Structure formats: C-alpha cells, structure tokens
Amino acid sequence: MRLMNRTFAELEPGESAEIKRLITTDDLFAFAACSGNYNSLHLSDANWSEPQELASSSNTQQRVAPGLFVASLISAVLGTQLPGAGTLYRRQHLEFHEWAHAGEELICRVKVIEKQADGLVLLQTTVHRLVDDALIVSGEALVSAPSTHIEANIALPGLVVQRHRHFEHLLEKVRPLQPLPMAVVCPTETNALAGALLAARESVIVPILIGRADAIRRAAEQLQEDLSGFEMIDVQGSDDAVAAKACAIVREGRAAAVMKGHLHTDDLLRPMLDKTHGLRGGRRFTHVFVMDVPGMPEPLIVTDAAINIAPDLAIKVDICQNAIDLARSIGMEPRVGVLSAVETVNPAIQSSIDAALLSKMADRGQIRGGLVEGPLAMDNAVDLGAARTKGLKGGVAGQANILLVPGLDAGNMLAKQLAYISHAEGAGVVLGAKVPVILNSRSDSAMSRLASCAVAALHHASHQQST
C-alpha cells in the first residue's frame, strides 16, 4: 500500500475521504486476539435476540462486530487518507446507532469540519452499512494533522487465523444424527478416555468402554468424570483380547464404529484382519486424515499416512476409492491429486507411473465418484498459480482436496507438517473395515478426537443410506 498525506496547511473544510470494508468472521477473531475482548457475542454464532431498540434488518444469526472494531475503521481513514500518515488522535466522540455483523460491508467517511489552532483539525466521522445506508456509528474526531509531507510504501505480512471452521461445520452436520454406538478399546489412559467422553457429551457417539474396568475407572477418577451412565465391558486379558471383544460386539450389531484407546495400532488392527472373526469389509484397510488447515477453503484429505507402508497399484486403488467415498460422505466433491516428485510420467519414478495409471483407471470407471489426476507435484496439486505455470489444466490441478501420497513416509511427513507447521487439526479414520475405525494418537487434541468421531458418524450415516 502506498501512503500519501495532506498537511495541515493543505487541508480545507469540506474535504472528505472514505473506505469500504467487508467484515469477516476471521476479522472478529483477530480483533479479539489483539484486544483481549472475548465477548461470546462476537465469537459465536448468536443464539440470542437483539434488544428491540437496537434491532436491525441484518441477520442476527451472524456474529456481532465489536463497537470499537467498527470504530477502528474511522482511524483507518484518518491514518491512511485524510489527513493521512502522521495524524495523531486527540479526541474521538462516538455514538452507536445499530450493530454491524460479520458478512456485512461497511463504508466509513470522514469530512473536515474546521481547522483550529496548533495544527488541530475537527472532522465529522460516520460508518454506514453499505447495502441499506443504515447509520451504524456517528461522531467527531479531533486530530493533530501532519505538518510535513509523508510518502511511504507499506507492506504488511499476511495473517492466517488459526480457526478450525471446517471441523466446526462437520460438527454442525453431525448434530441431527443419532449418536453413533462406538466400541472404545482400552480407554485406560486419561487422553483416550477424555476424547470418548467429550464426543458423548456432544451427542456424537454413545461409547461402549472395553478393557480393564479398574484401569478405566482410575482414568475417570483422574478426570473427575462419572462413568455410571456408560456401558463398560471388563476384559482382563491382553490388548489383542480387548480388540477381539470390540470386533465381537460390532459383529453382534451393538457397535457401529471402533475407537482406539491406550494400545498399539497393530494390537488393535490384528484381530480386525482375522478372516473368520474380524471386520474385513472387502477392501484393503486404509487410513485417511481429514485435515482442517487454517486458510484453506475446505478440508484437505491426506491418504494413506498410517497403515500401508509401500502400497502397490492395487492397494492404491483401494486407498483412492476409500478416500473418495469418505469425502463424499462429509459433503466434499472429491478431487484426487495423486502425488509424485514430478508432474510428468518418469519411468524411473514408480509413483509417477502409478499416478498416471490411477488417473486413467478413473477415466475408465474403475475408480468412481470423483476426479482423479496424476502425477502431480505438491505445488501444482494445491496451488492454481503453480498449476497454470506448468500448463496443467482440468478440474484437479491446483485445487486438489484429496492428496494420495506415494507411501507412508511421505504421507506421515506431510500430515505432521500440516499439523505442526501449518497448525492444522487432523481427524483420522481407517476405512475398508465393516465399520469406521478411529486411530487416535496420544498427542491428538480434544478437537481432533471429536472431529474423528464426527467423520466416522457421517461416513456411517452415508453408508447406511446407500445400502
């Protein structure tokens, strides 16, 4: 932004300037972080009614903008346009007439009323809602105007609000559903138990707690939680035996999903893969991370980053189809970018060959339900500018929302980079079994565990509708 100002000597009564600003929800979160004003009216979708004397024609279900955030638009005009750079506040009178909300566009105007002694300038200040010209704020500002010309180029860093709105939307989608009966295997540690109880409080699941009852109760005591309202199945054997019991209650129809607690992933999955008593569902077991990456327009799916170490083409077909099915069940239009180191087929790079074959198999209907394109490098899979630079066209390049990785190493690194560098939250689910299986890590946050349950519930509901 290039700034230029008007000095005190140049100002004339009647001069005016204005700016327009669309209020976004992220603006309100950023303002709360800077100001320390955490009033829930500004940070939550409202479940309240405005007082009659302040009611407006705007949508009261949107977040209300703090009054001083709206008034800050006045200082933006004063500091950047009229008088501009070098201006300092001496006094500001404000009167608030209506409330502004996220999603509304405002116009702020200032007008010089008079010049006073010692470089002081009095200005009329107003903020209106653009769509209907409703007056939001009025008042007067007294400022010290600059005495010398200032010209400057200002480059501000971009800001990304670390808000996981996609997971919030998933929770909204799952609320109308009946809570999903879920077998929770070995919830004998506080994090493992807390995640299940949180999902139960949110009415996403009905947990069935399976494992050593004494250890589960000790974990509940540490959390100061009451387990009297939950079913508990005491299994005193090995972790394999606990996981086998979970498989049994799924086959009996008592549970429609499984959640990993405090045990190794291999111990959880081994009984599920048993051909006689397990939960094989016809496809390879594959893992899907649904990542809520701040700044991304929709969730980003990464697969497979947890189970299949070096998948061949046949396994990648199942990885791809499982991810497409899950994406559709949570309301996404699947666009699979099959990743490699390059975006052209190189006979020396097996992942590029596999990617091209998967793309052609989707064209021929061997993979159904979404667009599949590859090989794509990471940059031209998720960035339209990079895709156009390489001359890539189609519905996937630059806008992939499913990233199919070459192997577990690449997938695990990508998912953890998104989590620890880009501050993403990840929901992890295993598909290919008869029911969704949630693989939690001990480092997973409460939101991650809750979102995993929501994804499992939505996928189960979608599968029930299609069968």
CB 309 within 8 A of CB 416: no
What digits encode the pLDDT tens for the residues 370-397? Answer: 999 999 999 999 988 889 889 998 889 9
Q: Looking at residue 206, what is its pLDDT? A: 95
Q: Looking at residue 50, what is its pLDDT? A: 43
Tokens found for residue 74: 């006045």
Instruction: Give CA–CA dist 393/335, Å, rounded.
Output: 13
Instruction: Give CA–CA dist 281/371, Å, rounded.
Output: 24
Full-model pTM: 0.73
Examine the pLDDT at 8 and tell me if it is beyond 80.
Answer: yes
What digits encode the pLDDT tens for the residues 336-360? Answer: 999 999 999 999 999 999 999 999 9
Instruction: Give CA–CA dist 160/26, Å, rounded.
Output: 8
Cβ atoms within 10 Å, residue 422: 15
pLDDT band of residue 29 (cuts 50, 70, 90) is confident
For tokens 């009647």, name the residue. Answer: 14
Sketch out the chain's domains with CATH numbers.
2-153 (3.10.129.10), 282-432 (3.40.718.10)
The identity of residue 434, as a single letter, is: K
Q: Are strands 300-303 and 437-438 parallel, antiparallel or unpaired?
A: unpaired
Examine the pLDDT at 411 and tell me if it is beyond 90.
Answer: yes
Cβ atoms within 10 Å, residue 115: 15
Q: Are strands 231-234 and 205-211 parallel, antiparallel or unpaired?
A: parallel
